[in-house]
Amino acid sequence: MQSEAFAQALRRAVLAQRLHTTPDAWAGGAAVQAHPSIDLAVVAFGPGPASAVAANVLFSREHPQGWVAGIAPDAGALAGVRFDADLQDAQGQSVAWAPGSDWAALPWRAIAGPGAANASNDRPRFVAPYPASLLKLMVAVGLCLAVDRGQLAWADVEPLLTPMIIVSSNEATDECVALLHRTGLLGLSGGRGPGLNDVFARHGLPTLQMHDTTARGG
């Protein structure tokens, strides 16, 4: 169940870190020009099934003090938040995060949430940053799904899955992605069922998608 008190405690904990003073290597060690973007989602489990509390707090240069997002009753997608896609230039660089970028002048594209079909919608929005190692959790879900479907054996998956998750091994991640390509889960049909991107979308997570990987794992 959503807890406003829990959300405010998380918000205060992040603010206490004074992240706006973080040294920026691109600025010669001076403080970052904008508050880092953080999508902080936490579930705290108590001793019984009805004792869990949840909260989701968003931070960005547009919400430096933190904004408490609503959580849907089914614990699915956030309520009332529009997610805008990261912007990249022709070289694939994420221009939104470059020093001096003016978010008010960038041509944002809404990808999920209220007003997703209309990028000019004035609801609170959060710009989806580069997912970094979140990708590894997505790969892990895909591998476990492949095991459930009988496309892979756990004995083949576990030796690669463990270093990918425990020590965030990029080499193991490449091998895991190569395994996913063998199953067809990264395609539209997913081999023996919906593809991985479609599985995420069906669970209310349309912003989690894997594209442009190779059969060698890159």
Across residues 157-181, what is the average pLDDT? 94
Residue with more model confidence, 17 or 89: 17
Question: What is the predicted pLDDT for the residue at 173?
Answer: 94
| pLDDT level of residue 14 (50, 70, 90 thresholds) | very high
pLDDT at residue 44 tops 70: yes
Across residues 193-214, what is the average pLDDT? 86
Q: DSSP string covering 2-69, please?
A: B-HHHHHHHHHHHHTT-GGG-B-GGGTTPBPSSPPPEEEEEEE--SSTT--EEEEEEESSS-TT-EEP
Question: What is the predicted pLDDT for the residue at 66?
Answer: 94
Q: Which range among 81-95, 97-111, 124-138, 163-177 has the greatest average pLDDT?
A: 163-177
Across residues 55-73, what is the average pLDDT? 90
Across residues 96-107, what is the average pLDDT? 85
Residue 125's CB is within 10 A of a number of other CB atoms, namely 21
Predicted model pTM: 0.69
**What's the DSSP call for residue 88?**
B
pLDDT (tens digit per residue) in 171-192: 999 999 999 999 888 865 555 7
**What's the DSSP call for residue 194?**
S
**Look-up: residue for tokens 């205060």?**
12
Question: What is the predicted pLDDT for the residue at 90?
Answer: 85
3-state secondary structure of 182: helix
Residue with more model confidence, 26 or 59: 59
- Cα–Cα separations (whole angstroms), residue 7 to 83, 129, 207: 20, 22, 23
**Look-up: residue for tokens 């939104």?**
96
Contact present, 1 and 53 (Cβ < 8 Å)? yes
Across residues 64-76, what is the average pLDDT? 84
| pLDDT level of residue 26 (50, 70, 90 thresholds) | confident
Question: What is the predicted pLDDT for the residue at 164?
Answer: 95
pLDDT at residue 115 tops 70: no
Across residues 116-124, what is the average pLDDT? 54
